[in-house]
Amino acid sequence: MTEKDTESAVATWKAPQCPFTIEYSLRALDDIRLAVVDAFFSLPRGGAEIGGILLGKRVKGRVTIADYVALDCEHAFGPSFALSPRDQDRLAELLAVAERNPEGLKPVGWYHSHTRSEISLSEADQDLHNRYFPEPWQVALVLKPHTFHPTRAGFFFRETDGSIHAKASYQEFPLAPLPVRPLPEGVAPAAEPAPSVRLRHGPDPQGPVITVAAGQAAQGPAPPAEPASDARSPNRPLPSFLAPLPPAREWRWLRTALAIAVGLAVVGAGYKTWRLWLPGLTAAIRPARELSIGLNAIDRGGQLQIQWDGNSAALRQATNAVLEIDDGPVRQEIQLDARQLKAGAFTYGRQGERVDIKLAIRLRGGQQAYAAAGFLGKLPERKPSSEDPEIRKQRDALAQEAAKLRSDLAAEMARTRKLEQSLDEVKKILQDQQRKRLENQNPER
């Protein structure tokens, strides 16, 4: 599709249990997908979860999703999308502003990502849905990012009896990336893409502040934000009821403000788990970058030898890393320290024909980096054992004899240690007696 086609293309989602058809903009869901993937790679072991409001229209038998507004969650309870009281107040403000939208787009539901669980609605998700999105036609969208596979998504809705099938979506679907949008003519690429745009509602300078996430960071540099354009889409203007704030002079002040806000939230909540996730959340301000360290995998008789350049300049700055191995139904995470990283090799007995490998590296200063590789090949044939029974009998006898010898050796070593202790005691007694004799022979004494 051309750029113009992707901006206006729509798709439909329908399930037999759903009393209406869901129609969504491909560009809007692709922008959400980009923001979800950015947050997924911002932290090791699952990343951060994000969410926001779905905007659109409702006609008879159809709900249309045309745009979205991200909710700037302060993550007071950790990297999951769990709303604090301040987050709930901010969500209520966003809903109130969206209801007064003169363009006719209303809140038709909400979205959020699940990085540590499957596509479902937890009890907390259902409580949030029933409290802030009580209409029978309002929906919930759950996105599940993956390191090596496309992002999956699924819709949840109220059936005719008012119940919600929360264990899983009736129909999951993949979100394929859309073509990258070119920069408008005459606009130079920005030196560093801003991860969010802060907007203020209305002409009142004391009005509520809304933060809209920029999902373009994962696809390359984005054009600088202008007062009349959205950072998520340079070709789509912002709704008229959202007016941008003046841009910050320096990005480091935004980092400082974010770090202070997170610290105050943790202290106010009184939770002691901040040591586990706060360093990673602070490091998330600088997105992870991919390193070229020669990561590869070679199979030798079913044993996968994972290798990398341990003497590279990047790994010399690493403190530790996590080796993630996705072997079909088997998924493992191996912790590697600096010494193991320098060794440059790890052997893994593969169970399937396709193995995806990712090396998530933590550098000095809290920065994140990663390298990825994969292997595809048939498993070697394992020949059935045809061992002679007599040889097996002799082997078992030798094994029993070896076990007896090890037991005898252990007992002999224990006796030897006991004799050595007795000898040390005799030496000490003799030394004491000799010292006493020398003291008695001393004329002065």
User: Per-residue pLDDT for 232 more than 80?
Assistant: no
User: What would the mean pLDDT of 148-169 be, rounded to a whole number?
Assistant: 92
Q: Give 239-278 as a DSSP string.
A: PTTEEEPPPPS-HHHHHHHHHHHHHHHHHHHT-STHHHHH
pLDDT at 249: 46
pLDDT score of 272 more than 70: no
In the DSSP assignment, the letter for residue 60 is: T
Mean pLDDT calculated for residue range 389-403? 88
d(C-alpha 163, C-alpha 158), whole Å = 5
Helix, strand, coil share of the chain (percent; to 5): 30, 30, 40
Domains of the chain and any CATH numbers: 3-244 (3.40.140.10), 289-376 (2.60.40.10)
Q: Report the range of poorest mean pLDDT among 196-210, 304-318, 415-429.
A: 196-210
Residue-level pLDDT at 177: 85
Bigger pLDDT: 234 vs 420: 420
Average pLDDT (234-258) is 49
Separation CA 189–CA 217 (nearest Å): 12
pLDDT at 77 over 90: no
* CA nearest neighbour of 277 among 72, 88, 81, 75: 75
CB atoms within 10 A of CB 370: 20
Region for residue 246 given its phi and psi (left: phi exceeds 0; alpha: psi -120 to 50; beta: otherwise): beta
Q: 357-379, pLDDT tens digit by residue?
A: 988 888 877 778 888 888 888 88
d(CA 65, CA 9): 12
Contacts 24+ apart (CB under 8 A), 202-208: 202/241, 202/243, 203/243, 208/90, 208/93, 208/97
Instruction: Give the pLDDT of residue 226.
Output: 42
- Laid out side by side, the sheet with 242-244 consists of 209-213, 196-201, 242-244
Sheet strand arrangement including 303-307: 296-300, 303-307, 345-349
Q: Please state whether the predicted TM-score (pTM) of the whole model is above 0.75.
A: no
Token pair for 113: 């990502």
Cα 307 from Cα 375, distance rounded (Å): 12
Q: How sure is the predictor about 262, in pLDDT bands with cuts at 50, 70 and 90?
A: low
- Exposure string for 280-315, b = 16+ CB within 10 A, e = fewer: bbebbbebbeebebebebebeeeebebbbbbebeeb
Percent of the residues in the chain that have a pLDDT greater than 70, as a whole number: 72
For 111-139, the pLDDT digits (tens) are: 999 998 899 999 999 999 999 999 999 99
Q: Which residues face 408 on adjacent strands?
A: none
Contacts of 243 (CB under 8 A, 6+ apart): 199, 200, 201, 202, 203, 227
- The pLDDT value given to residue 184: 59
Q: What average pLDDT does the segment 220-230 reach?
A: 42
Tokens 């809705």: give the residue: 157
pLDDT in tens, 296-326: 888 888 888 898 888 887 787 888 889 999 8
Element (H, E) at 198: strand 196-201
Length of the chain: 445
**pLDDT band at residue 290, thresholds of 50, 70 and 90?**
low
Residue 86, phi then psi, degrees to nearest 5 = -70, -40
User: For residues 118 and 384, which has the higher predicted lDDT (pLDDT)?
Assistant: 118
In whole angstroms, what is the distance from residue 117 CA to residue 259 CA? 27
pLDDT at residue 383, as a whole number: 62
Question: Has residue 245 got a pLDDT over 60?
Answer: no
SS3 398: helix
Backbone angles phi, psi at 343, to 5 degrees: -60, -35
pLDDT at position 313 is 77
Which of the pair, 197 or 47, is modelled with greater confidence? 47
The residue behind tokens 């893994």 is: 348
User: Higher-confidence residue: 20 or 216?
Assistant: 20
Specify the higher pLDDT residue, 55 or 387.
Answer: 55
**Is residue 202 scored above 90 in pLDDT?**
no
Pairing of strands 62-71, 106-113: unpaired
Q: Report how far residue 356's alpha carbon sits from residue 153's, in angstroms, rounded to the nearest whole number.
A: 22
Per-residue confidence (pLDDT) for residue 276, from 0 to 100: 53
251: how many CB neighbours lie within 10 A of its CB? 14
CB 363 within 8 A of CB 318: yes
3-state secondary structure of 151: strand
Closest CA to 298 of 373, 247, 226: 373
How is residue 119 written in tokens? 């596509």
35 has a pLDDT exceeding 90: yes
**Residue 204 has what pLDDT?**
46
**pLDDT higher than 60, residue 270:** no
What integer is the mean pLDDT of 151-167?
93
The whole-number average pLDDT for the span 248-260 is 60
Three-class SS of 412-428 = HHHHHHHHHHHHHHHHH
Vertex 179, ends 104 and 230: CA angle to 5°?
40
What gap in Å lies between CA 338 and CA 345, rounded to an integer?
A: 13
Q: Which residue would you say has higher pLDDT here, 145 or 290? A: 145
2: which 2 tokens?
Answer: 């051309």
pLDDT at 6: 66
User: Under DSSP, is residue 291 helix (H, G, I), strand (E, B) or coil?
Assistant: coil
The band of 412, judged by pLDDT with boundaries at 50, 70 and 90, is: very high
pLDDT of 419 > 90? The answer is yes
For residues 340 and 98, what is the distance between their CA atoms, to the nearest angstrom? 53
